[in-house]
């Protein structure tokens, strides 16, 4: 026997649906778009040919964050960061390849990025219902780096211009000098905590996928040594920093055999303050 729904029941159902939709629009209207400015501090490190362990050789980092919260779930973010990355084969007591190679480097990293964040839970400082949330983000970054190493006189010198893997020489014409300004894909996440309506504490871990294998100035093979001549264009300093221990010969592996691109990462805490915006919406 077919069930029968009366016109009154249909009207009631329609009114309930309209009420729910109306509540949704009302809740969205009540949210005020707002802007925050935050100050970040933490540690940074890199993963590549000279380091494969997270948080090894961590260095101090800092940054400034401007975040535009468009609703309880999504935010746009602009971030300016200064990071430090480094690694040293001489501090490795277990990897025989690293011990025999003897390379080291350090580099500042200046990054400007634009990101979009997604909150897993509704988040709104000042609203007792939405005071914390895990979040994730991605976007695009532009960064500048400049790897350096210490020569025998104790001076830290720029490695890119030296061409330690034969870049820019006639003998290795297929190897060009890498650009010091590159793009990366930022990825990360963390936890947002609303301390009060205008102050947030944000715990964050981020990692950057780069498109270069030269954050550490190490990628391919040695270009001379052990009886094999070096390219004529290489200076004495370039030869010294190409193979500090002088124990390798041409075509021996200097970097990782798979030539994978390097990454840099950070973990930090941000103190974020909401600006006194004049925004649309209704007060609670």
- What's residue 24's pLDDT? 44
> pTM, whole model, 2 decimals?
0.87
At 59 the three-state DSSP class reads strand
CATH class of the domain defined by 33-274: mainly beta
- How many Cβ atoms from other residues are within 10 Å of residue 282's Cβ? 9
- How many Cβ atoms from other residues are within 10 Å of residue 94's Cβ? 6
Per the listing, tokens 């920093």 go with 241
At 87 the three-state DSSP class reads strand
Domain extent listing, the chain: 33-274
- What's residue 278's pLDDT? 53
- Determine which helix (DSSP H) or strand (DSSP E) holds 105, and give its type and residue range: strand 104-119
Q: Which long-range contacts (CB under 8 A, 24 or more apart) does 173-179 make?
A: 175/220, 178/212, 178/214, 179/212
What is d(CA 254, CA 248) in angstroms, rounded to the nearest whole number?
9
How far is residue 178 CA from its own chain's centroid?
A: 20
- What's residue 280's pLDDT? 46
In sequence order, the β-bridge partners of residue 209 are 185, 263
Mean pLDDT per block of 10 residues along the chain (284 residues) reads 53 51 50 95 97 97 98 98 97 91 98 98 96 98 98 97 97 96 98 97 98 97 93 97 95 87 98 77 42
143-160 pLDDT, tens per residue?
Answer: 999 999 999 999 999 999
**C-beta separation of 56 from 88 below 8 A:** no
- What's residue 180's pLDDT? 98
- What's residue 243's pLDDT? 97
What is d(CA 136, CA 131) in angstroms, rounded to the nearest whole number?
17
Contact residues for 186 (Cβ-Cβ < 8 A; gap 6+): 113, 115, 137, 138, 139, 140, 141, 206, 207, 208
Average pLDDT taken over every residue of the chain: 90
66-98 pLDDT, tens per residue?
Answer: 999 999 999 999 999 999 999 999 999 889 999
- What's residue 86's pLDDT? 98
- What's residue 23's pLDDT? 46
């Amino acid at each position: 026997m077919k069930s029968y729904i009366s016109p009154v029941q249909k009207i009631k159902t329609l009114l309930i649906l309209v009420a729910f939709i109306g509540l949704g629009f009302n809740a969205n209207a009540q949210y005020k778009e707002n802007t925050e400015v935050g100050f970040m501090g933490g540690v940074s490190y890199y993963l590549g040919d000279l380091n494969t362990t997270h948080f090894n050789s961590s260095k101090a980092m800092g940054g400034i964050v401007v975040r535009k919260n468009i609703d309880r779930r999504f935010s746009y973010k602009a971030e300016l960061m200064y990071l430090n990355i480094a690694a040293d084969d001489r501090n490795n007591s277990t990897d025989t390849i690293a011990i025999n190679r003897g390379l080291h480097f350090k580099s500042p990293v200046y990054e400007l990025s634009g990101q979009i964040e997604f909150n897993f839970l509704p988040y709104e400082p000042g609203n007792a219902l939405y005071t914390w949330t895990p979040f994730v983000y991605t976007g695009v970054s532009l960064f500048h780096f400049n790897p350096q190493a210490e020569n025998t006189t104790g001076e830290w010198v720029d490695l890119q211009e030296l061409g330690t893997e034969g870049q820019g020489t006639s003998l290795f014409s297929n190897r060009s000098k890498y650009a010091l300004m590159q793009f990366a894909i930022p990825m990360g996440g963390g936890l947002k905590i609303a301390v009060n309506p205008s102050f947030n504490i944000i715990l964050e871990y981020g990692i950057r996928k780069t498109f270069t294998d030269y954050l550490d100035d190490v990628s391919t093979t040695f270009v001379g040594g052990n009886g094999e001549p070096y390219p004529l264009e290489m200076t004495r300093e370039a030869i010294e920093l190409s193979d500090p221990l002088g124990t390798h010969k041409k075509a021996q592996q200097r970097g990782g055999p798979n030539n994978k691109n390097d990454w840099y990462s950070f973990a930090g805490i941000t103190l974020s303050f909401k600006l006194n915006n004049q925004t649309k919406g209704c007060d609670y």
